[in-house]
């Protein structure tokens, strides 16, 4: 599963306004007719339920929208660059790691939802040299400097993205159809027709189009699920998911069977559907990057409720040297360790509604189940025993979970 993607995003530059004059037979002084440049295309992110991963971005390093065309003679406006719409799954977080100057100005002054208007940007003008010999027209477009001397146009260094010292969260896509202009295209410059006046009847100046935004971004997917299943490897999360939904995750009797999150849809009698996420097993130290859990802890953030799935290994259950009380304490320690990993990753995780369940009760004696319940009751925690193998206790667990959602 691909849930982390880095992209270079470039919007199109605005097209240059045209300096031209109407020249027709019998109309020697037709006046200015230079058209405006077209606007550059923007890059837009849009939320969709059609994707559950970022797999469709595999192999893509750069996305660039088209620039606007330059203005033309006869008052013709250049074509706008086409926008590019990138569909992303719900739960996608957008992080900014580098940007150019025009991107920084929009971000620091407005929210990412605000798109600039033409009045909010500065358009730079350029001039062309006057000529008297039609066969010796200058080929270079000139920009007027402070010294009033023509200079060649060159894009400033500010259009090159500069890395940020710390990444910045730009937005989070949570709704179907939600659209965010992640890189706004530049505005086209006005042609010389816009500069005609009573004192400037033959304007030799027009506007350069403004540069488009450029950003380096990271897309991070956090699955949107109603219920998140949390537990150690081999706790039976995948088995539970397959029992209560139509999902068909890989299951086997060895750790880390699940190496990527699995989703299933739980259909309730009233017709409501709940999305259940099987999060890859956590181990001690997962919040510090050990095992597989660290890569997937973020997927728990958007779950409405959590179900902790606890269990005892068969070797522990059959160990005659351990009393039922000692075995119950081992289950409680397992729960406390899972809580510790969530807290160290993000303390807000512990504020989510949760249920504590005990899987594989088909292997335990009645006395052992009672001892485990009693151990958790000391901390005022109800525990819901079930068997993913036989289905015993599942209806009660699901009924309680759907009540909390």
Burial string for 100-115 (b: 16+ CB within 10 Å, else e) reads bbbbbbbbeeeebeee
Sign, CA dihedral 108-112-113-114, equals: positive
Q: Is residue 130 within 8 Å of 186, Cβ to Cβ?
A: no
Asked whether residue 372 falls in the same domain as residue 257, the answer is yes
* Measured distance CA(158)–CA(393) in Å, rounded: 63
Asked whether residue 189 falls in the same domain as residue 243, the answer is no
* Measured distance CA(375)–CA(326) in Å, rounded: 10
> Which of 217, 220, 218, 166 minimizes the C-alpha distance to 11?
217
Asked whether residue 175 falls in the same domain as residue 322, the answer is no
* Measured distance CA(39)–CA(115) in Å, rounded: 13
Higher pLDDT, 133 or 5: 5
pLDDT digits (tens, 9 = 90+) for 333-376: 999 999 988 888 788 888 899 999 999 999 999 999 999 999 99
Q: pTM here? A: 0.71
Query: How much of the chain, in percent, has pLDDT values that exceed 70?
Result: 83
Asked whether residue 186 falls in the same domain as residue 239, the answer is no
The counts of H helices and E strands in the chain are 7, 18
What's the pLDDT score for residue 38? 97
Asked whether residue 91 falls in the same domain as residue 50, the answer is yes
| Residues 6 or more apart in contact with residue 273 via CB below 8 angstroms | 265, 266, 267
Q: Mutual orientation of helices 366-377 and 324-345 as an angle, nearest 10°?
A: 50
Strand, coil or helix: 47: strand
Among 161, 191, 221, where does a domain finish?
Answer: 221
- Residues 23-41, mean pLDDT to the nearest whole number: 85
What's the pLDDT score for residue 303? 87
Phi/psi class of residue 236: alpha, beta or left (left: φ > 0; alpha: ψ in -120 to 50)?
left
> Which of 61, 155, 178, 161 minimizes the C-alpha distance to 107?
161
pLDDT digits (tens, 9 = 90+) for 105-125: 999 999 999 999 998 988 888
Give the tokens for residue 233.
């490897």
Asked whether residue 279 falls in the same domain as residue 336, the answer is yes
Give the DSSP H/E element, type plus range, for residue 386. Answer: none
Please give the angle made by the CA atoms of 75, 16 and 44, to the nearest 5 degrees: 110
Half-sphere exposure of 122 (CA within 13 A, CB side): 4
> Which of 141, 7, 20 minimizes the C-alpha distance to 61?
7
Q: What is the mean pLDDT of the chain?
A: 84
Among 174, 196, 221, where does a domain finish?
Answer: 221
**Per the structure, how many domains does the chain have?**
2
Q: What is the DSSP letter of 23?
A: -
Higher pLDDT, 295 or 181: 181
Render 215-248 in DSSP notation, one character per residue: EEEEEEE----SEEEEE-TTSSHHHHHHHHSS--
Query: Dihedrals φ, ψ of 195, to 5°?
Result: -105, 5
> Which of 39, 4, 35 minimizes the C-alpha distance to 22?
35
Beta bridge partners of 87: 46
* Measured distance CA(355)–CA(350) in Å, rounded: 12
Asked whether residue 360 falls in the same domain as residue 376, the answer is yes
Domain, as residue range, for 140: 4-221
Among 189, 221, 253, where does a domain finish?
Answer: 221
Higher pLDDT, 258 or 262: 262
Asked whether residue 279 falls in the same domain as residue 202, the answer is no
Asked whether residue 168 falls in the same domain as residue 249, the answer is no
Asked whether residue 210 falls in the same domain as residue 128, the answer is yes
Give the tokens for residue 331.
């289950």
Asked whether residue 259 falls in the same domain as residue 334, the answer is yes
Strand, coil or helix: 347: helix
Strand, coil or helix: 65: coil
* Measured distance CA(10)–CA(1) in Å, rounded: 26
pLDDT digits (tens, 9 = 90+) for 272-314: 788 888 877 664 544 444 444 445 677 778 888 999 999 999 9
> Which of 266, 267, 265, 233 minimizes the C-alpha distance to 250?
233
| pLDDT of 140 higher than 80 | no
Question: What separation, in Å, do the N-terminal and C-terminal C-alpha atoms of the chain show?
Answer: 27
* Measured distance CA(270)–CA(187) in Å, rounded: 52
CA 326 to chain centre: 46
Asked whether residue 293 falls in the same domain as residue 398, the answer is yes
């Amino acid at each position: 599963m691909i849930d982390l993607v880095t992209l270079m995003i470039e919007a199109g530059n605005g097209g240059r306004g045209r300096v031209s004059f109407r020249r027709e037979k019998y109309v020697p002084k037709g006046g200015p007719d230079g058209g405006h440049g077209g606007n550059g295309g923007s890059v837009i992110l849009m939320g969709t339920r059609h994707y559950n991963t970022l797999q469709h971005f595999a192999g893509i390093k750069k996305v660039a929208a088209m620039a606007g065309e330059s203005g033309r003679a006869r008052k013709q406006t250049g074509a706008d660059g086409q926008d590019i719409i990138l569909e992303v799954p719900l739960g996608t977080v957008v992080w900014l790691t580098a940007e150019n100057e025009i991107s920084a100005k929009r971000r620091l002054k407005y929210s990412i939802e605000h798109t600039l208007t033409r009045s909010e940007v500065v358009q730079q003008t350029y001039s062309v040299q006057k000529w008297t010999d039609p066969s010796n027209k200058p080929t270079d477009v000139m920009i007027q400097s402070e010294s009033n001397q023509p200079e060649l146009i060159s894009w400033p260094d500010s259009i090159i993205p500069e890395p940020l010292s710390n990444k910045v969260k730009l937005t989070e896509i949570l709704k179907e159809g939600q659209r965010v202009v992640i890189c706004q295209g530049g505005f086209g410059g006005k042609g010389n027709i816009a500069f005609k006046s009573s004192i400037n009847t033959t304007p030799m100046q027009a506007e350069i189009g403004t540069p488009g935004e450029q950003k380096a971004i990271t897309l991070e997917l956090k699955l949107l699920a109603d219920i998140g299943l949390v537990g150690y490897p081999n706790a039976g999360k995948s088995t539970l998911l397959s029992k209560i939904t139509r999902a068909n995750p890989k299951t086997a009797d060895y750790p880390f069977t699940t190496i990527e999150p699995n989703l299933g849809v739980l259909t309730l009698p009233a017709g409501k559907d709940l999305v259940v996420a099987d999060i890859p097993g956590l181990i001690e130290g997962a919040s510090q990057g050990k095992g597989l859990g660290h890569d997937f802890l973020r997927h728990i953030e958007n779950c409405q409720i959590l179900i902790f799935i606890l269990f005892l290994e068969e070797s522990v259950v059959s160990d005659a040297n351990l009393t039922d009380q000692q075995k119950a304490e081992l289950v409680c320690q397992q729960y406390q360790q899972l809580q510790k990993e969530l807290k160290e990753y993000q303390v807000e995780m512990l504020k989510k509604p949760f249920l504590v369940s005990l899987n594989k009760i088909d292997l335990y004696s009645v006395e052992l189940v009672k001892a485990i319940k009693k151990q958790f009751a000391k901390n005022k925690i109800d525990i819901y025993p079930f068997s993913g193998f036989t289905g015993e206790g599942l209806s009660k667990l699901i009924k309680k979970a759907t009540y909390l959602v």
